[in-house]
Amino acid sequence: MTGLLALAVGVSACGPQSEALAPQPPTSSRSIVAEAGTEGTPCRGYVALTFDDGPSVDTPRLLRTLDELHLRATFFTMGYMVKTFPDHVRQMVADGHEVGNHTANHPHLTTKSEAEVRSEIVGQRDIERSLGITDVRLFRPPHGETNPTVGRVAKELGLLEVLWSTDTKDWTKNSAHEITDLALQVQAGGIIDLHDQGGLHAIEALPAIAAGLKARGLCAGRVVATSQVQTSQYLRLPYRAVAGPW
């Protein structure tokens, strides 16, 4: 899948990369520096678009919309939903998106013991691996709730903990217009949080979000590690991830 924008969703590998399911690079002849929206215009920065809590009944429509807009994204998927819709996850990877770990059962990890935290993350990793997805780099704690124990376990498992800089509040069932306005508060390097869930309006907001980013010369990028501490917009918790080039 190619694109003017490739808005990210996925940092240390958990195992050898799956040849069949590895994210595919853009196949367009356009230079990556032209991704800002006007060919020949260099990027003035990168942002990452991430979707939590999927896959869902709406995932096929979301993937079609992303394809039509030439966007790539990062999907933080949950175990019990992956079991329900495994083919949707396979399609995410086939379309060139990145898959991240969002635990097996979506609990409040900060209320759990270290062993329980590890079980949730490993459980989701095992479900992903059952689909042949062995190159997961990223972890997002459910509800954006983390503490030193959660962060340490994720790091020990070779995962980069990822929160977000821009909360669209789509989980409140904001309108597409409201989601767009919040998403476009993002700054270069920022990570936008959306949800892959039925009944929300994130899909309807995507065309306007893509247009707004293009107008500002912001290119889609993947989630990468940074040495600089970032602060999540929701709970004001620290994390070390930003958007960078694919």
The residues annotated as belonging to the active site are 52, 195
- C-beta of residue 63 within 8 angstroms of C-beta of residue 91: yes
Distance CA 80, CA 93 (A): 18
Distances (CA, A) of 180 to 194, 208, 212: 11, 7, 9
Tokens of 210: 């893509």
Give the number of C-alpha atoms closer than 13 A to the C-alpha of residue 128, restricted to the C-beta side.
35
Distance CA 117, CA 149 (A): 8
Helix axes 59-68, 86-94, angle to 10 degrees: 10
Tokens of 216: 């500002």
DSSP string, 1-12: ---S----B---
